[in-house]
Amino acid sequence: MSEQMTAKERWLAAIRMKPVDRLPFWPKLDGAYPPAQRMPFKDLALDAIHDWIGSDKHTWIADCTRETRKRTAVTTSRDGIFMHTVYTTPLGELRLVKQYDQPSDSWHPIEFPIKCLDGVKLMTAFFEDVSVDLDRDALDKAKRQSAEIGHSAVTAGGIGESPLMYFIEWLAGVENAHLLLADHQPEVETLFEALHRVLVQKARLLCEHSPADVLYMTENTSTTLISPAQYRRYCARHVGEYARLAHEADRNLILHMCGHLKAILPDLAAIPARAFEAFTSPTLGNTTLRDGRQACPDKCLIGGTNAILWTRTADEIIAKIEADLSDLPHHRGIVVTSAGVMPPMCKPETIKRVCEWVKRYPARMDEPR
Protein backbone atom coordinates (compact mmCIF):
# COMPACT_ATOMS: atom_id res chain seq x y z
CA MET A 1 0.00 0.00 0.00
CA SER A 2 1.43 3.39 -0.97
CA GLU A 3 1.58 6.17 1.59
CA GLN A 4 -1.72 8.00 1.86
CA MET A 5 -2.01 8.85 5.56
CA THR A 6 -0.53 11.84 7.34
CA ALA A 7 1.79 11.21 10.28
CA LYS A 8 -1.03 12.10 12.70
CA GLU A 9 -3.53 9.81 10.96
CA ARG A 10 -1.02 6.95 10.88
CA TRP A 11 -0.22 7.29 14.58
CA LEU A 12 -3.85 7.52 15.67
CA ALA A 13 -4.91 4.55 13.54
CA ALA A 14 -2.11 2.42 15.00
CA ILE A 15 -2.96 3.48 18.56
CA ARG A 16 -6.57 2.41 18.01
CA MET A 17 -5.61 -0.90 16.35
CA LYS A 18 -6.89 0.22 12.95
CA PRO A 19 -5.29 -0.49 9.55
CA VAL A 20 -2.45 1.82 8.47
CA ASP A 21 -0.90 2.43 5.06
CA ARG A 22 2.49 1.46 6.54
CA LEU A 23 4.03 0.99 9.97
CA PRO A 24 4.73 4.26 11.77
CA PHE A 25 8.40 4.90 12.64
CA TRP A 26 9.59 7.22 15.41
CA PRO A 27 13.20 7.41 16.66
CA LYS A 28 13.13 9.05 20.10
CA LEU A 29 15.68 11.84 19.81
CA ASP A 30 16.31 14.16 22.74
CA GLY A 31 18.53 17.15 23.46
CA ALA A 32 21.59 14.94 23.89
CA TYR A 33 21.43 13.74 20.29
CA PRO A 34 22.49 16.71 18.08
CA PRO A 35 25.64 17.70 20.05
CA ALA A 36 27.00 14.16 19.62
CA GLN A 37 26.67 14.25 15.81
CA ARG A 38 28.88 15.63 13.05
CA MET A 39 27.90 18.61 10.95
CA PRO A 40 25.35 19.52 9.72
CA PHE A 41 23.30 17.51 12.23
CA LYS A 42 25.22 18.96 15.15
CA ASP A 43 23.61 22.35 14.55
CA LEU A 44 20.15 21.17 13.50
CA ALA A 45 17.03 21.33 15.62
CA LEU A 46 15.49 17.97 16.48
CA ASP A 47 12.50 18.70 14.26
CA ALA A 48 14.81 19.22 11.28
CA ILE A 49 16.66 15.96 11.99
CA HIS A 50 13.33 14.13 12.16
CA ASP A 51 12.34 15.64 8.80
CA TRP A 52 15.63 14.53 7.25
CA ILE A 53 15.18 10.99 8.60
CA GLY A 54 11.53 10.85 7.55
CA SER A 55 10.12 10.18 11.03
CA ASP A 56 6.47 10.01 11.94
CA LYS A 57 6.83 12.78 14.46
CA HIS A 58 5.49 12.79 18.01
CA THR A 59 5.39 16.26 19.58
CA TRP A 60 4.61 17.43 23.11
CA ILE A 61 2.44 20.49 23.65
CA ALA A 62 1.78 22.70 26.67
CA ASP A 63 0.12 21.43 29.83
CA CYS A 64 -3.15 23.27 30.34
CA THR A 65 -3.44 22.68 34.10
CA ARG A 66 -1.89 24.34 37.16
CA GLU A 67 -1.58 23.46 40.83
CA THR A 68 -2.84 25.85 43.50
CA ARG A 69 -2.14 25.74 47.26
CA LYS A 70 -3.39 27.52 50.38
CA ARG A 71 -1.01 26.48 53.18
CA THR A 72 2.03 25.14 51.34
CA ALA A 73 4.48 26.29 48.68
CA VAL A 74 7.07 24.95 46.27
CA THR A 75 10.04 26.91 44.94
CA THR A 76 12.73 25.91 42.47
CA SER A 77 16.12 27.56 42.00
CA ARG A 78 19.21 26.72 39.98
CA ASP A 79 22.82 27.00 41.07
CA GLY A 80 25.03 26.02 38.15
CA ILE A 81 24.57 22.31 37.50
CA PHE A 82 22.37 21.89 40.60
CA MET A 83 18.64 22.48 40.87
CA HIS A 84 16.98 22.84 44.28
CA THR A 85 13.26 22.28 44.82
CA VAL A 86 11.97 23.24 48.28
CA TYR A 87 8.61 21.97 49.54
CA THR A 88 7.33 24.20 52.36
CA THR A 89 4.55 23.08 54.70
CA PRO A 90 3.29 24.18 58.14
CA LEU A 91 5.14 21.13 59.50
CA GLY A 92 8.51 22.04 57.98
CA GLU A 93 10.47 21.93 54.71
CA LEU A 94 11.77 19.21 52.40
CA ARG A 95 14.36 19.56 49.64
CA LEU A 96 14.95 17.76 46.34
CA VAL A 97 18.35 18.33 44.71
CA LYS A 98 18.95 17.41 41.08
CA GLN A 99 22.22 17.55 39.13
CA TYR A 100 22.50 18.28 35.42
CA ASP A 101 24.31 15.72 33.28
CA GLN A 102 25.54 17.28 30.04
CA PRO A 103 26.14 14.12 27.94
CA SER A 104 22.54 12.95 28.49
CA ASP A 105 21.09 16.49 28.66
CA SER A 106 19.07 15.49 31.70
CA TRP A 107 18.59 16.10 35.42
CA HIS A 108 19.12 13.35 37.99
CA PRO A 109 18.14 13.37 41.67
CA ILE A 110 21.12 13.32 44.02
CA GLU A 111 19.24 14.15 47.24
CA PHE A 112 15.69 13.00 47.83
CA PRO A 113 13.24 15.02 49.93
CA ILE A 114 11.90 12.08 51.94
CA LYS A 115 14.43 10.39 54.21
CA CYS A 116 12.31 9.18 57.15
CA LEU A 117 8.75 8.91 58.45
CA ASP A 118 8.62 12.64 59.23
CA GLY A 119 9.37 13.33 55.57
CA VAL A 120 6.49 11.08 54.53
CA LYS A 121 4.14 13.08 56.77
CA LEU A 122 5.41 16.44 55.50
CA MET A 123 5.05 15.40 51.86
CA THR A 124 1.56 14.09 52.58
CA ALA A 125 0.61 17.49 54.02
CA PHE A 126 2.08 19.14 50.91
CA PHE A 127 0.02 17.09 48.45
CA GLU A 128 -3.14 17.18 50.55
CA ASP A 129 -3.06 20.97 50.09
CA VAL A 130 -2.88 20.79 46.27
CA SER A 131 -5.79 21.48 43.95
CA VAL A 132 -5.55 21.24 40.17
CA ASP A 133 -7.25 23.88 38.03
CA LEU A 134 -7.56 24.64 34.34
CA ASP A 135 -5.00 27.20 33.16
CA ARG A 136 -6.80 29.17 30.43
CA ASP A 137 -3.66 30.89 29.12
CA ALA A 138 -1.82 27.57 28.87
CA LEU A 139 -4.86 26.02 27.19
CA ASP A 140 -4.82 28.78 24.55
CA LYS A 141 -1.09 28.12 24.02
CA ALA A 142 -1.70 24.38 23.64
CA LYS A 143 -4.44 25.03 21.10
CA ARG A 144 -2.14 27.32 19.11
CA GLN A 145 0.63 24.72 19.17
CA SER A 146 -1.78 22.00 18.06
CA ALA A 147 -3.01 24.13 15.17
CA GLU A 148 0.56 24.94 14.06
CA ILE A 149 1.58 21.27 14.16
CA GLY A 150 -1.50 20.22 12.21
CA HIS A 151 -1.17 16.76 10.66
CA SER A 152 2.65 16.75 10.63
CA ALA A 153 2.82 14.97 14.00
CA VAL A 154 0.74 13.36 16.70
CA THR A 155 0.54 15.68 19.72
CA ALA A 156 1.01 14.56 23.32
CA GLY A 157 0.38 15.78 26.85
CA GLY A 158 1.32 14.32 30.22
CA ILE A 159 -0.80 13.49 33.26
CA GLY A 160 2.07 12.44 35.51
CA GLU A 161 3.43 9.35 37.24
CA SER A 162 1.44 7.06 39.53
CA PRO A 163 2.17 7.27 43.28
CA LEU A 164 4.40 4.24 43.90
CA MET A 165 6.69 4.96 40.94
CA TYR A 166 6.83 8.68 41.74
CA PHE A 167 7.68 7.85 45.36
CA ILE A 168 10.53 5.60 44.23
CA GLU A 169 11.95 7.80 41.50
CA TRP A 170 11.59 11.33 42.88
CA LEU A 171 10.58 11.42 46.53
CA ALA A 172 12.51 8.73 48.43
CA GLY A 173 14.81 6.80 46.08
CA VAL A 174 14.65 3.09 45.32
CA GLU A 175 16.14 1.58 48.49
CA ASN A 176 14.67 4.02 51.00
CA ALA A 177 11.25 3.91 49.34
CA HIS A 178 11.01 0.16 49.84
CA LEU A 179 12.26 0.37 53.43
CA LEU A 180 9.74 3.08 54.27
CA LEU A 181 6.93 1.14 52.62
CA ALA A 182 7.88 -1.97 54.60
CA ASP A 183 8.28 -0.18 57.95
CA HIS A 184 5.54 2.45 57.68
CA GLN A 185 3.02 1.08 55.22
CA PRO A 186 -0.09 2.96 56.51
CA GLU A 187 1.65 6.33 56.43
CA VAL A 188 3.16 5.76 52.98
CA GLU A 189 -0.20 4.60 51.64
CA THR A 190 -1.76 7.81 52.99
CA LEU A 191 0.81 9.72 50.93
CA PHE A 192 -0.11 7.59 47.90
CA GLU A 193 -3.77 8.53 48.28
CA ALA A 194 -2.87 12.23 48.42
CA LEU A 195 -0.81 11.88 45.24
CA HIS A 196 -3.55 9.85 43.57
CA ARG A 197 -6.22 12.47 44.30
CA VAL A 198 -4.11 15.13 42.56
CA LEU A 199 -3.55 12.90 39.53
CA VAL A 200 -7.27 12.10 39.25
CA GLN A 201 -8.05 15.81 39.24
CA LYS A 202 -5.47 16.44 36.53
CA ALA A 203 -6.60 13.47 34.45
CA ARG A 204 -10.21 14.69 34.50
CA LEU A 205 -9.23 18.19 33.37
CA LEU A 206 -6.90 16.99 30.61
CA CYS A 207 -9.44 14.48 29.31
CA GLU A 208 -12.02 17.26 29.08
CA HIS A 209 -9.93 20.15 27.80
CA SER A 210 -6.50 19.22 26.38
CA PRO A 211 -6.17 19.43 22.58
CA ALA A 212 -3.42 16.76 22.68
CA ASP A 213 -4.06 13.68 20.54
CA VAL A 214 -2.65 11.37 23.23
CA LEU A 215 -2.20 11.62 27.00
CA TYR A 216 0.65 9.92 28.83
CA MET A 217 1.27 8.39 32.21
CA THR A 218 5.09 8.47 32.45
CA GLU A 219 5.34 5.34 34.56
CA ASN A 220 8.86 4.04 33.82
CA THR A 221 7.47 0.72 35.07
CA SER A 222 9.93 -2.14 35.57
CA THR A 223 9.93 -5.22 37.76
CA THR A 224 13.59 -4.40 38.43
CA LEU A 225 12.28 -1.52 40.60
CA ILE A 226 9.06 -2.95 42.02
CA SER A 227 7.66 -6.44 42.41
CA PRO A 228 4.68 -7.79 40.41
CA ALA A 229 2.76 -7.93 43.70
CA GLN A 230 3.46 -4.25 44.33
CA TYR A 231 2.35 -3.42 40.80
CA ARG A 232 -0.95 -5.20 41.39
CA ARG A 233 -1.52 -3.63 44.81
CA TYR A 234 -0.70 -0.04 43.85
CA CYS A 235 0.09 0.84 40.24
CA ALA A 236 -2.60 -1.25 38.55
CA ARG A 237 -5.31 0.23 40.78
CA HIS A 238 -4.14 3.82 40.41
CA VAL A 239 -3.34 3.69 36.70
CA GLY A 240 -6.54 1.76 36.13
CA GLU A 241 -8.54 4.71 37.42
CA TYR A 242 -6.79 7.22 35.17
CA ALA A 243 -7.28 4.83 32.25
CA ARG A 244 -10.99 4.46 32.97
CA LEU A 245 -11.40 8.24 32.99
CA ALA A 246 -9.63 8.43 29.62
CA HIS A 247 -11.66 5.53 28.22
CA GLU A 248 -14.96 7.12 29.28
CA ALA A 249 -13.90 10.35 27.58
CA ASP A 250 -12.76 8.46 24.45
CA ARG A 251 -9.23 9.76 24.92
CA ASN A 252 -6.03 7.95 23.96
CA LEU A 253 -4.08 7.08 27.11
CA ILE A 254 -0.54 5.74 26.66
CA LEU A 255 1.51 4.17 29.44
CA HIS A 256 5.24 4.90 29.15
CA MET A 257 6.90 1.77 30.56
CA CYS A 258 10.54 1.32 29.62
CA GLY A 259 11.66 -1.59 31.81
CA HIS A 260 11.00 -5.28 32.46
CA LEU A 261 7.29 -6.00 31.96
CA LYS A 262 6.94 -9.70 31.19
CA ALA A 263 5.79 -10.74 34.69
CA ILE A 264 3.02 -8.13 34.75
CA LEU A 265 1.66 -8.42 31.20
CA PRO A 266 -1.58 -10.09 32.44
CA ASP A 267 -2.10 -7.15 34.82
CA LEU A 268 -1.40 -4.62 32.08
CA ALA A 269 -3.89 -6.37 29.80
CA ALA A 270 -6.70 -5.49 32.24
CA ILE A 271 -5.93 -1.74 32.24
CA PRO A 272 -8.04 0.13 29.63
CA ALA A 273 -5.14 2.12 28.18
CA ARG A 274 -4.75 2.33 24.41
CA ALA A 275 -1.01 1.75 24.14
CA PHE A 276 2.23 0.84 25.90
CA GLU A 277 5.18 3.02 24.91
CA ALA A 278 8.91 2.34 25.17
CA PHE A 279 8.06 -1.36 24.91
CA THR A 280 11.65 -2.57 25.21
CA SER A 281 12.94 -5.83 23.78
CA PRO A 282 15.65 -8.10 25.26
CA THR A 283 18.36 -7.86 26.30
CA LEU A 284 17.79 -4.42 27.78
CA GLY A 285 14.10 -5.12 28.32
CA ASN A 286 12.60 -8.57 28.72
CA THR A 287 9.48 -8.43 26.58
CA THR A 288 9.24 -9.11 22.85
CA LEU A 289 6.53 -7.80 20.56
CA ARG A 290 5.20 -11.35 20.38
CA ASP A 291 4.97 -11.52 24.19
CA GLY A 292 3.05 -8.26 24.21
CA ARG A 293 0.70 -9.23 21.42
CA GLN A 294 -0.12 -12.61 22.96
CA ALA A 295 -0.85 -11.20 26.41
CA CYS A 296 -2.41 -7.88 25.34
CA PRO A 297 -4.13 -8.43 21.97
CA ASP A 298 -6.00 -5.12 22.06
CA LYS A 299 -3.08 -2.83 23.00
CA CYS A 300 -0.91 -0.82 20.63
CA LEU A 301 2.76 -1.61 21.24
CA ILE A 302 5.12 1.33 20.67
CA GLY A 303 8.77 0.29 20.63
CA GLY A 304 9.92 -3.23 19.83
CA THR A 305 13.66 -2.52 19.94
CA ASN A 306 16.24 -1.49 22.55
CA ALA A 307 19.17 0.90 22.90
CA ILE A 308 21.78 -1.85 22.58
CA LEU A 309 20.37 -2.91 19.22
CA TRP A 310 20.70 0.67 17.93
CA THR A 311 24.47 0.59 18.52
CA ARG A 312 24.81 -1.99 15.75
CA THR A 313 24.86 -1.61 11.95
CA ALA A 314 21.75 -0.73 9.98
CA ASP A 315 21.68 -4.23 8.46
CA GLU A 316 21.76 -5.86 11.90
CA ILE A 317 19.02 -3.57 13.22
CA ILE A 318 16.82 -4.24 10.20
CA ALA A 319 17.34 -8.00 10.41
CA LYS A 320 16.26 -8.06 14.05
CA ILE A 321 13.21 -5.87 13.50
CA GLU A 322 12.21 -8.00 10.50
CA ALA A 323 12.54 -11.22 12.51
CA ASP A 324 10.44 -9.85 15.36
CA LEU A 325 7.74 -8.50 13.04
CA SER A 326 7.54 -11.79 11.16
CA ASP A 327 6.78 -13.50 14.47
CA LEU A 328 3.51 -11.58 14.88
CA PRO A 329 0.05 -12.73 13.78
CA HIS A 330 -0.63 -9.26 12.26
CA HIS A 331 0.80 -5.75 12.42
CA ARG A 332 -2.12 -3.67 13.58
CA GLY A 333 -1.22 -1.65 16.65
CA ILE A 334 2.55 -1.68 16.06
CA VAL A 335 4.69 1.48 16.03
CA VAL A 336 8.41 0.88 15.48
CA THR A 337 10.53 3.14 17.68
CA SER A 338 13.84 3.11 19.51
CA ALA A 339 11.79 2.20 22.61
CA GLY A 340 13.87 4.30 25.02
CA VAL A 341 15.81 7.36 23.94
CA MET A 342 17.96 6.81 20.86
CA PRO A 343 21.66 6.32 21.77
CA PRO A 344 23.63 9.31 20.42
CA MET A 345 26.23 6.91 18.99
CA CYS A 346 23.62 5.78 16.44
CA LYS A 347 24.21 8.00 13.43
CA PRO A 348 21.41 9.77 11.54
CA GLU A 349 22.33 7.84 8.37
CA THR A 350 21.72 4.56 10.21
CA ILE A 351 18.36 5.71 11.53
CA LYS A 352 17.35 6.92 8.06
CA ARG A 353 18.19 3.55 6.48
CA VAL A 354 16.10 1.73 9.07
CA CYS A 355 13.29 4.25 8.59
CA GLU A 356 13.25 3.69 4.83
CA TRP A 357 13.16 -0.07 5.38
CA VAL A 358 10.25 0.18 7.84
CA LYS A 359 8.34 2.28 5.32
CA ARG A 360 8.77 -0.47 2.68
CA TYR A 361 7.93 -3.34 5.03
CA PRO A 362 4.82 -5.24 3.83
CA ALA A 363 2.81 -4.95 7.04
CA ARG A 364 -0.14 -7.31 7.44
CA MET A 365 -3.31 -5.51 8.43
CA ASP A 366 -5.46 -8.63 8.89
CA GLU A 367 -8.37 -8.31 11.30
CA PRO A 368 -7.08 -9.35 14.78
CA ARG A 369 -8.59 -12.61 15.94
Are 254 and 214 in contact, with CB atoms under 8 Å apart?
yes
Res 118: pLDDT:
98
**Mean pLDDT on 279-284:** 97
pTM of the model: 0.96
Final residue in a domain of this structure, among 58, 81, 116: 116
pLDDT computed for residue 1 by the predictor: 45
pLDDT of residue 366: 87
If asked whether residues 168 and 241 sit together in one domain, one would say: yes
Q: Are 361 and 354 in contact (CB under 8 A)?
A: no
Rounded CA-CA distance 191/174 in Å is 16
Contact 309, 320 (CB under 8 A): yes
**How far from chain centre, in Å, is Cα 126?**
25
Residue 239 lies in a domain: yes
Report the percent of the chain where pLDDT is more than 90.
98
Q: What is the dihedral of CA 165, 167, 172, 178, to 10 degrees?
A: -70
Q: What contacts 317, CB < 8 A, 6 or more positions away?
A: 305, 309, 310, 350, 354
311 inside domain: yes
**Alpha-carbon distance 275 to 47, whole Å?**
24
pLDDT tens, residue by residue, 74-94: 999 999 999 999 999 999 999
Q: 83: which strand partners?
A: 78, 98
The Cα 208–Cα 227 span in angstroms is: 34
Same domain, 226 and 332: yes
SS3 content of the chain, % helix, strand, coil (to 5): 45, 20, 35
The count of domains in the chain is: 2
201 and 348, same domain (yes or no): yes
Between 155 and 367, whose confidence is greater?
155
Can you list the positions of beta strands (E) in 32-190?
A: 57-60, 65-68, 73-79, 82-89, 92-101, 106-111, 131-134, 153-160
Q: Rounded to the nearest 5 degrees, what angle is found at the Cα of 50, between the Cα atoms of 276 and 278?
A: 15
In a domain, 268, yes or no: yes
Residue 43, number of CB atoms within 10 A of its CB? 10
205-261 per-position pLDDT tens digit: 999 999 999 999 999 999 999 999 999 999 999 999 999 999 999 999 999 999 999
- Do 109 and 241 have their domain in common? no
pLDDT at 369 over 90: no
**For 277-286, what is the mean pLDDT?**
97
Question: Are 97 and 231 members of one domain?
Answer: no
CA 171, CA 156: separation in Å to the nearest integer? 25
Q: What is the pLDDT of residue 368?
A: 62
Predicted local confidence at residue 112, as pLDDT = 98
CATH number at 254 reads: 3.20.20.210
CB atoms within 10 A of CB 45: 9
368 lies in some domain: no
DSSP, res 343: P
- The domain of 97 spans 70-116
Residue 123: strand pairing partners? none
Q: What is the pLDDT of residues 2-57, one digit of tens each?
A: 579 999 999 999 999 999 999 999 999 999 999 999 999 999 999 999 999 999 99
Q: 211 exposed, middle or buried (CB, 10 Å; 0-12, 13-18, 19+)?
A: middle
pLDDT in tens, 128-187: 999 999 999 999 999 999 999 999 999 999 999 999 999 999 999 999 999 999 999 999
**Residue 93: per-residue pLDDT:** 98
Q: Is residue 22 located within the same domain as residue 112?
A: no
Name the 3-class secondary structure at 64: coil
The C-alpha atoms of residue 79 and residue 98 are separated, in whole angstroms, by 10
Residue 192 lies in a domain: yes
Q: Prior bond to 40 cis, omega within 30? A: yes
Rounded CA separation 362/357 (Å): 10
